[in-house]
């Protein structure tokens, strides 16, 4: 990245962050609540793009780890009466990482479509487990998620809508910002540079002494940890987690968010999540056959902006400079 682009980001990012912080005070409550899944998916997509954009591996089963994080939150708040969101997020990250380790060890042996199909298979195995083990997971009815404490404070006296649009909103934003800063450090570290080398030329990376399978495994586990944290964040606004969180269409949605924003850019997936969520909500409110219209709109965006929305902006800037 050149210094001009870096300076532009350093100028824009604080402004965007300030605008997001101001939303609860200036926007209707409905739009504030829509930002909660955006921030949860933002954490998930930061991790997914480490695997997709920086390592070159496309996972079609990453909803598995969103489900792991969400169900961890449900088990902790329901069965074990743990209400601290900090404990829930850390536990969700650990559980997702532990689950990812053996899955990654098998999947990273393969690349391209074989990697994608293996991740899809593991995701569907977990979905079936959630659906069939009714006594443990609640089956298709799912499991309720109790309202967690924030920074050790019990905010049960606050109505749920005010809780979500106020303290929980700011907490989720803080988690997203911290996750973004940590991921920024990861992708700009020697580890991140090795991942880019592996993505561009695995054979050359091997000749340079980089353990390709080991680095891919680490990237997979890190991305799963992020997905687990995002799933735990998503569980509270939903209020009741169910097996559809781990279904293959959910994995498809997060891959599409990444493509929509632009996986070649660090912040592209975040833009993709924002556009996807608000565009879906708008189309659903306008037409009853919203899936047809929504699918056509997304297909058009991908066709005319194959590099994602941020890629489209970059091309426009390049043309202006010529």
**C-alpha span between 269 and 44 (Å, rounded):** 10
Identify the sign of the CA torsion 289, 66, 83, 42. Answer: negative
Q: Is 155 helix (H, G, I), strand (E, B) or coil?
A: coil
In SS3 terms, 19-39 reads as: HHHHHHHHCCHHHHHHHHHHH
- Amino acid 2: pLDDT: 45
- Amino acid 310: pLDDT: 80
Looking up tokens 């199909």 gives: 117
In SS3 terms, 108-140 reads as: CCCCHHHHHHHHHHHHHHHHHHHHHCHHHHCHH
Q: Which parts of the chain register pLDDT below 50?
A: 1-3, 321-322
Contact 56, 127 (CB under 8 A): no
- Tell me the pLDDT tens digit for each residue of 192-216: 999 999 999 998 888 888 889 999 9
- Tell me the pLDDT tens digit for each residue of 23-49: 989 889 999 999 999 999 999 999 999
Q: Is 84 helix (H, G, I), strand (E, B) or coil?
A: strand
- Amino acid 112: pLDDT: 83
- Amino acid 318: pLDDT: 52
**C-alpha span between 200 and 182 (Å, rounded):** 23
Contact 158, 168 (CB under 8 A): no
- Amino acid 321: pLDDT: 45
Average pLDDT over the chain reads: 89
- Amino acid 185: pLDDT: 94
**C-alpha span between 1 and 267 (Å, rounded):** 13
Instruction: List the domain boundaries for the chain.
Output: 35-274
**C-alpha span between 269 and 255 (Å, rounded):** 9
């Amino acid at each position: 990245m050149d210094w001009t682009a870096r300076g532009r980001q350093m100028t824009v990012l604080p402004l965007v962050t300030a605008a997001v912080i101001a939303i609860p005070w200036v926007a209707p409550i409905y739009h504030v609540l829509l930002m909660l899944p955006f921030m949860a998916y933002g954490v998930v997509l930061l991790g997914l793009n480490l695997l997709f954009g920086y390592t070159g591996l496309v996972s079609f089963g990453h909803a598995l780890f969103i489900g792991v994080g969400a169900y961890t939150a449900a088990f902790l708040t329901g069965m074990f009466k743990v209400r601290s969101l900090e404990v829930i997020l850390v536990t969700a990250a650990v559980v997702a990482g532990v689950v990812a380790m053996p899955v990654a060890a098998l999947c990273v042996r393969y690349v391209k479509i074989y990697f994608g199909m293996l991740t899809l298979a593991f995701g569907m195995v977990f979905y079936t487990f959630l659906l069939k083990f009714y006594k443990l997971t609640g089956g298709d009815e799912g499991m309720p998620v109790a309202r967690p404490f924030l920074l050790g404070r019990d905010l049960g006296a606050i109505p749920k809508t005010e809780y979500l649009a106020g303290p929980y909103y700011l907490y989720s934003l803080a988690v997203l910002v911290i996750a973004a800063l940590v991921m920024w450090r990861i992708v700009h570290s020697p580890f991140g540079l090795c991942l880019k080398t592996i993505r561009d030329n695995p054979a050359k990376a091997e000749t340079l002494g980089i353990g390709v399978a080991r680095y891919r495994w680490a990237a997979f586990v890190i991305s799963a940890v992020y997905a687990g944290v995002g799933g735990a964040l998503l569980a509270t606004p939903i209020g009741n987690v169910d097996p559809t969180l781990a279904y293959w269409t959910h994995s498809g949605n997060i891959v599409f968010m990444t493509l929509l924003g632009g996986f070649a850019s660090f912040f592209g997936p975040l833009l993709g999540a924002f556009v996807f969520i608000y565009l879906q909500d708008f189309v659903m409110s306008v037409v009853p056959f919203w899936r047809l219209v929504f699918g056509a709109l997304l297909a058009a965006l991908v066709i005319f902006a194959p590099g994602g929305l941020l890629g489209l902006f970059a091309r426009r800037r390049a043309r202006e400079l010529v």
